[in-house]
Amino acid sequence: MNSLSIARGARVRQSFCFPAILFAALISPGCGPAPVAQPPAPKTEAKPTPAAEGGKFVNLGNPAVGAAGLKFMVGPGPDGKLTHFYFGFAVKGGFILVQMDSRDQGKVRQWQAEKPFEDCWGMTPASDGNLYIGSKGHYFKFDPREPDKGLQHLGSPLPDEKYIWQMVEGRDGKIYACTYPGANLISYDPATGKFVDHGKLDPKEMYAKPLYAGADGWIYAGIGTARNQIVGFNPATGEFTYLVPEAERPAGPGTGMGWLLLVDDKDGNIFADIGGKHYRMENGRGTEVAADAAPKDPQKLKTIDGLLPYSFSSKGKFIFLDAEKKQQEGQFPFKAEPPSIFSVAALGGTAFAGVFPADSLLEYSKEGKVIDLGIPRGARSQTYSMVALPDRLYAAAYPQGTVSVYDLKTGKSRLLATLRGPNLRPMGMISLPGGRLAVGGVPDYGQRGGALTILDDQTGKVLFQQRGVIPEQSIRDMVWDDKNQCIIGGSSTVCGNGTPPVEEDARVFAWSPEGERLLWSQVAYPGDRHVAGVAVADGKVFALSSVHQSEFGPARGPKHFVVLDLKTGEILHRKDFEFGIPPDRCLAAAGGKVFGVATEGVFSIDPKTYEFTLLGKPPVPATVGIAIGDRGIYFGAGNNLWLFEMSQIQPGPQSN
């Protein structure tokens, strides 16, 4: 045994701070990325690329810095003692581990894994003096005594799993982990290098998030998100136990979005909070206790000097509690490639981009200046949709369905509304007449049927909200048809994470805000589960749909172009789409035509003949579309915002 001052199976649960799938804000106030002041952004050099139809592609760049902060915890230094802070970041090029000496915070080093290992949710120090990290179902080891070896890849018993949510060292010295989407329990034995898949913790659920090693030698996991359960595992026998009878399992994501289904006390005893009841777990069984007899928050490791991690941002700002429990702040540099463009909007000669991971909003002026507007007030992660008006910018973001508004004259933002469960991922947002906003999206974990919500755009008051306008489906894109005073939208069969779809066909629909009713809905294309974009022109609705849409990326499988009658929803035309993969919100109407972006082309559609014209092939595949401004068509391609310059485009009320 070395001098690392934690015993096998000791408490190593830490702060959870993840903008992409963030639960930190629900665990402790201040956990998660916080707005930080940024230096003036440098001007971006425009790089024109020739294109057809007299237009050209211009790379407007992306000066944002930052990454998705997943972990902030205490771990061993070279001597095995708990003297160092460790920070884990997710980036597109592979996750980053940052090590800082808590006694000399200027001593900072970083290491980066390679693709496809882009996350590091699971992380735990162990009694052998190493730090273990989980990424995409794989184990990594970092040895503080041999830092030049960097992140050592150990392997995996389940290489196809997407995440390792948590890791913990058992009393037997093995490193246990829980996975997604299989909800498996796996382990690694540092002494032998052997991996074991102990099997699924639940036959249907996809999420196993909190994981603890109890003082009794058992491993405990919390299961969600559709139906909660507490599972015990006996390492000595391989036995699984289940706390709640199958017929009594509560629905929903669980306490603290599932992260607080389990907590521990200072002695290593494990407590469950499930279905409104509290239990003390021992030898795989639960004994009900009073709420005040159970700890409310998990234990966290402190440094040998009593320093306790509190929160950190995507840009390297962090807060910790000193030995007297006073907040102290720090900032550290780290290197990461620019974050990806996640959403776009435009008004006149100005464009806006939401970036992830980093969670900032960027303003691009026609003069070439780029301003970092910072993180939207109340937001903690991806900005899914934006609405640009002459004096303000609205931004809708995950994880609580927050809608924020920026005053573009002062640069200040304020939280307008928090929509939570029905609009957890606010995929689409548009402006309506009468000072209103319409928001549609994907519901909370474990739920089906995203809501259509109408807000007052000044006060944030919810004027109307209906879940399941398209039953059991989510809303992915919307536009406003001023002539007929209705919302035109496209749906997706995708449900809240952890819940499989029950519908097979995505739909295009028309909805009346004044009548608060569905006017019509129509299957876009039989078997297509996702409508990527909708636009209105010449009394018709134009849509692009696809067979499958990935959780955070563009559509996959066959793609189709669909035309419908705006008043009746009757299908007028269908055919295969030939310009690659259409990203979300890929269509917009302006100047009497429909325009679109996809991985293999920027194109226009004649509303009368349905003829496609390829305007230009992007130098880099488009991954986020579309916004139309005075200068042309804006779209995101990987890390950069691009402009397809076309002076003949005249933005109209349908540009989005």
pLDDT tens digits, one per residue of 124-137: 999 999 999 999 99
Confidence of residue 648 (pLDDT cuts 50, 70, 90): low
Say yes or no: 264 and 367 in one domain. Answer: no
- For 462, the 3-state DSSP assignment is strand
Is 651 among the domain residues?
A: no
Say yes or no: 287 and 351 in one domain. Answer: no
Say yes or no: 314 and 347 in one domain. Answer: no
Which range (180-189, 240-249, 370-379) has the least confidence?
370-379
Span 411-459, pLDDT tens digits: 888 999 999 889 999 999 999 999 999 999 999 888 889 999 999 999 9
Quote helix, strand, coil % in the chain, to nearest 5: 5, 50, 45
Is 8 among the domain residues?
A: no
Which whole number is the average pLDDT over 635-644?
94
The residue type of 365 is S
Say yes or no: 323 and 465 in one domain. Answer: no
Say yes or no: 262 and 387 in one domain. Answer: no
Say yes or no: 194 and 327 in one domain. Answer: yes
Structural domain total, the chain:
2
Which range (494-503, 537-546, 561-570) has the least confidence?
494-503
Q: What is the percent of the chain where pLDDT is above 70?
A: 89
pLDDT value for 256: 82
Is 132 among the domain residues?
A: yes
pLDDT value for 376: 82
Residues 6+ apart with CB under 8 A from 568: 520
Say yes or no: 401 and 550 in one domain. Answer: yes
Say yes or no: 265 and 357 in one domain. Answer: no
- For 567, the 3-state DSSP assignment is coil
Residue 525 sits in a domain whose CATH number is 2.130.10.10
Phi/psi for 594 (5° steps) reads -110, 135
Cis peptide before 298 (omega within 30 of 0): no
Tell me the average pLDDT of the chain.
Answer: 88
Q: Which of 283, 304, 331 is the last residue of a domain?
A: 331
Question: What is the token pair recorded at 511?
Answer: 């909805």
Residue 428 burial by Cβ neighbours in a 10 Å radius (0-12, 13-18, 19+): buried
Say yes or no: 307 and 396 in one domain. Answer: no
Say yes or no: 365 and 310 in one domain. Answer: no
Is 656 among the domain residues?
A: no
Which whole number is the average pLDDT over 635-640?
92
Contact indicator for 91, 133 with CB cutoff of 8 Å:
no
Task: Please indicate, yes or no, whether the overall pTM of this predicted structure exceeds 0.75.
Answer: yes
Residues 6+ apart with CB under 8 A from 478: 428, 429, 430, 438, 440, 487, 488, 489, 490, 534
Question: What is the token pair recorded at 71?
Answer: 């972990």
Which range (92-96, 205-209, 389-393, 462-466) has the least confidence?
92-96
pLDDT value for 549: 59
Residue 478 burial by Cβ neighbours in a 10 Å radius (0-12, 13-18, 19+): buried
**What is the spatial order of strands in the sheet that 624-629 belongs to?**
47-50, 56-61, 640-645, 632-637, 624-629
Span 306-337, pLDDT tens digits: 999 999 988 899 999 999 999 999 999 888 88
- For 226, the 3-state DSSP assignment is coil
Span 153-207, pLDDT tens digits: 999 999 989 999 999 999 999 999 999 999 999 999 999 999 999 999 999 999 9
Say yes or no: 453 and 512 in one domain. Answer: yes
DSSP 361-378: EEEE-TTS-EEEEESPTT
Residues 6+ apart with CB under 8 A from 132: 122, 123, 124, 125, 126, 139, 140, 141, 142, 167, 169, 175, 188
Is 522 among the domain residues?
A: yes
Distance CA 88, CA 93 (A): 14
Contact indicator for 416, 427 with CB cutoff of 8 Å:
no
Q: Which of 331, 351, 376 is the last residue of a domain?
A: 331
SS (H, E, C) 252-321: CCCHHHHCCCEEECCCCCEEEEECCEEEEEECCEEEEECHHHCCCCCCCCCCCCCCEEEEECCCCEEEEE
**Cβ atoms within 10 Å, residue 495:** 24
Q: What is the percent of the chain where pLDDT is above 90?
A: 73
Checking 364-371 for CB contacts under 8 A at 24+ apart, the result is 364/44, 364/60, 364/641, 366/630, 366/631, 368/43, 368/44, 368/46, 369/41, 369/43, 370/41, 370/42, 370/43, 370/44, 370/60, 370/61, 370/63, 371/40, 371/41, 371/411
Q: Which of 314, 331, 348 is the last residue of a domain?
A: 331
Distance CA 545, CA 587 (A): 11
Which whole number is the average pLDDT over 12-28?
34
Question: What is the token pair recorded at 566?
Answer: 């705006």
Is 430 among the domain residues?
A: yes
Range of the domain at 279: 15-31+41-331
Phi/psi for 246 (5° steps) reads -55, -40
Which whole number is the average pLDDT over 45-66?
70
Is 240 among the domain residues?
A: yes
Distance CA 29, CA 211 (A): 22
DSSP 313-354: -TTSEEEEE-TTS-EEEEE-----PPPEEEEEEEETTEEEEE
pLDDT value for 270: 98
pLDDT of 608 higher than 50: yes
| Residue 598 C-alpha from the chain's centroid | 22
pLDDT of 1 higher than 60: no
Which range (158-162, 212-216, 547-551) has the least confidence?
547-551
Residue 206 sits in a domain whose CATH number is 2.130.10
Phi/psi for 68 (5° steps) reads -80, 115
pLDDT value for 72: 96
| Residue 24 C-alpha from the chain's centroid | 13
pLDDT value for 538: 97
pLDDT value for 38: 30
- For 484, the 3-state DSSP assignment is coil
Confidence of residue 497 (pLDDT cuts 50, 70, 90): confident
Say yes or no: 173 and 227 in one domain. Answer: yes
Q: How far is CA 93 from CA 67, 148, 340, in A?
A: 11, 20, 11
The residue type of 278 is H
pLDDT value for 22: 35
Cis peptide before 225 (omega within 30 of 0): yes
Distance CA 203, CA 209 (A): 15
Residues 6+ apart with CB under 8 A from 355: 62, 64, 338, 339, 340, 341, 342, 361, 362
Distance CA 638, CA 654 (A): 25
Element (H, E) at 25: helix 24-27
Is 277 among the domain residues?
A: yes
Distance CA 123, CA 169 (A): 10
Which whole number is the average pLDDT over 264-289?
96
pLDDT of 33 higher than 60: no
**Residue 642 β-bridge partners:** 59, 635
